[in-house]
Structure 1
Amino acid sequence: MADECNLCLLGLIFLFSLLTGTSGVDDAHVFISSGGNVHLPCNNALPDCKSTTWNYERFRHSSAVELIAGGKLNEDIESHERLSLGSDCSLNIRNVTKGDYGLYTCQHWTSVNGQHHQQGTDAHVYLHVLCVSSSSSQTEISPGSSVSLSCQLYSYSDTGVSCHDSGLSKGYHLFWVNQAGVKLTISDSRYQISAPGHCIITLTTTLLNEDDNREWRCAVTHRNQLKTSVTYTVRISAHADSATAVIPVHTTKSIVIIVEFAVFAAPTVILLQIICARRAGRKDSQHREEIVMNTVLE
């Protein structure tokens, strides 16, 4: 009798699981750094993608935006030029921006006698975008200046995980590494690392001459597995005195040209003066001779 009760209880549990479904178990989480290209899978794909529909939500309870309907791209949306439908009904996004994060839902709809029927269940894909920004413009970066790099993970609000340090085994963990792949910590006096907001980590440092073309990488892990990373390369602008150093060179060349012209022009000027003086002397002598002849004739 007890065994029969246990079997009944197991049967009820199994039936309850079928009725309630397994929502979230097969949800896909895709991580990408800004500027990259991403491939969002449709786990319930059918052989014919003409029935495929992709919807997008940036926030929970926000209105869904229809990106693709009936296998055709919605050209009325701003990002349509970066979207395409793959042969496996996946959604491809080129040149990802931080505004692309959110929940993407793949569905399949067929039409029978003018009525639309969904085939299969929804396939949810959460897209997480990792971005790095600098507090200084590239022209302001120079040795001795302070630069602050902010790394942020943009995620849908209803993913069930967070970026709190206390939940490294369950949540996302953001951290900075240097060019050698060594994780940067607050124990290094050269760096100041802080977390000013949700899923944000900031690296502040004073630049040295050898930091030119140096890379700092921000990475995100989930359950100790690396998901994605993004690199920021520092390119120190030219020194202000290097630009002015070119000026004396041009000035020196100009002076040399002037001196060379004077050296070659001086003899020519003197020779012309001698010729003019001789011609003037000849005219004076001819004039005196004419005066004498006129006097004699008189």
Structure 2
Amino acid sequence: MSDKCDLCLLGLIILCSLLTGTSGVNETHVFISSGEDVRLPCNNALSDCPSTTWIYNRFRHSGSVELINGGKKKKDSERHERLSLGSDCSLNIKNVTKEDPGFYICRQFVNEQKQGTDAHVYLHVLHVSSSSSSQTEISPGRSVTLSCQLYSYYGESCDRSVRSEEIHLLWVNQAGVNLTTDSRYQISSSGLCIINLITTLLKEDDNREWRCRLTLRNQNKTSVTYTVKYSDQDDSTTAVIPVHTTNSQDPSTIKTPETKVIVMIVEIAVFAAPTVILLQIICARRAGRKNSQHLEEIEMPTRLQ
């Protein structure tokens, strides 16, 4: 009878461990948006962090990379400058990029002997990219496409993992209203891990925010904000900028307002000079004729006498 009770008790322990997720697997999922700093917990850490080793794996079938060994950063790591070890042996990553998601393992060693079970951390990064390749393409009247994508550990299909975890992506405005309710926006999905927003920019969109939000079981986990920024110059100014571009022109040949006035005066003087000289000649001839007539009038009475 006692043997049967022992078997029942053992079965209950195993069942409880499976239901509570404590069957030797220490697993954590962390969601973050690109550009932010993140902390990956090490739930199996000992009191002494020099026993801690952090291992990273991006793909299931790719080789693992040691980021932290014996509590110290590996200098040959591509992310060396952005990594640091917390006082609780957590792994801190600054300015997260879409290249950082994956499978992280926190492992403990004492006298080169592995201690306890590994702590598994899955890092998921939400990233937004724009179809506009330059700032000049961000202006009223232009169409813009924003693509929001969830980057995760590529151990299996993203759609499969997202479906099993009940993860959803959606676009909302500054007030948190789902943009699918506004006919101005076209929302489309490429599977469950990518959601696109397409719209034509308006003048009033300057400094407007659109947010891609990730929810897990109807709870907000993280979001990425895209802010529209127009140039400080208005359309009319922008249109004439290329006309006034003189970077390849010799500065000595550029006419300023002062030189234009001087040139105008010189041109007037050049064209007016012959006219003035001609008038002077005509006036001089007329004056000579008047003088000769006056002399004849004076001499005539003298002859009559």
Q: TM-score range by the shorter chain?
A: 0.7 to 0.9
Distance (whole Å) between structure 2 residues aligned to residue 131 and residue 236 of structure 1: 22
Q: Residues 55-74 of structure 1 correspond to what in structure 2 (within 5 A)?
A: 55-74=55-74
- Structure 2 residue runs without a partner (length 5+): 245-254, 277-305
Post-superposition shift, 1:236? 2.5
Matched, 1:149 2:146: yes
Matched, 1:120 2:123: no
Q: Secondary structure at the match of 1:230?
A: strand
1:145-187 superposed Cα distances (whole Å, 9 cap, x missing partner): 11000000111145896334xx7xx4211001112221111x4
Distance (whole Å) between structure 2 residues aligned to residue 47 and residue 6 of structure 1: 38
How much identity, in percent, do the aligned residues show? 58
Distance (whole Å) between structure 1 residues aligned to residue 43 and residue 155 of structure 2: 20
What does residue 129 of structure 2 align with? 133
Post-superposition shift, 1:89? 0.6
Post-superposition shift, 1:91? 0.5
Distance (whole Å) between structure 2 residues aligned to residue 180 and residue 105 of structure 1: 38
What does residue 175 of structure 1 align with? 170
Q: Secondary structure at the match of 1:197?
A: coil
Distance change in 2, residues 1:89/1:13 (3 Å): same
Distance (whole Å) between structure 1 residues aligned to residue 227 and residue 15 of structure 2: 54
Post-superposition shift, 1:257? 6.0
Post-superposition shift, 1:57? 0.8
Structure 2 length as normaliser, TM-score?
0.73
Q: Residues 182-221 of structure 1 correspond to what in structure 2 (within 5 A)?
A: 182-185=177-180, 187-221=181-215
Q: Secondary structure at the match of 1:81?
A: helix
How many pairs align? 258
Distance (whole Å) between structure 1 residues aligned to residue 73 and residue 126 of structure 2: 26
What does residue 11 of structure 1 align with? 10
Distance (whole Å) between structure 1 residues aligned to residue 62 and residue 12 of structure 2: 34
1:61-109 superposed Cα distances (whole Å, 9 cap, x missing partner): 3221111111111111211111111111111111111110011111110
Q: Secondary structure at the match of 2:95?
A: coil
1:194 counterpart letter in structure 2:
S
Distance (whole Å) between structure 2 residues aligned to residue 174 and residue 195 of structure 1: 9
Distance (whole Å) between structure 2 residues aligned to residue 16 and residue 183 of structure 1: 42
What does residue 294 of structure 1 align with? none
Q: Is the 8 A contact 1:50 1:70 kept in 2?
A: yes
Post-superposition shift, 1:232? 0.7
Post-superposition shift, 1:18? 6.9
Distance (whole Å) between structure 1 residues aligned to residue 203 and residue 220 of structure 2: 31
Q: Is the 8 A contact 2:44 2:117 kept in 1?
A: yes
Deviates further, 192-201 or 97-106: 192-201
Q: Secondary structure at the match of 2:162?
A: coil
Q: Secondary structure at the match of 1:122?
A: strand
- The RMSD of aligned alpha carbons is 3.4
Distance (whole Å) between structure 2 residues aligned to residue 218 and residue 180 of structure 1: 13
1:129 counterpart letter in structure 2:
V
- Structure 1 residue runs without a partner (length 5+): 274-298
Distance (whole Å) between structure 2 residues aligned to residue 52 and residue 222 of structure 1: 30
Post-superposition shift, 1:220? 0.3
Q: Is the 8 A contact 1:176 1:203 kept in 2?
A: yes
Q: Secondary structure at the match of 1:27?
A: strand
Equivalent position to 2:237, from 225, 236, 242 = 242
What does residue 79 of structure 2 align with? 79
Post-superposition shift, 1:45? 1.2
Structure 1 length as normaliser, TM-score?
0.75
Distance (whole Å) between structure 2 residues aligned to residue 149 and residue 228 of structure 1: 17
What does residue 261 of structure 2 align with? 259
Q: Is the 8 A contact 1:43 1:123 kept in 2?
A: yes
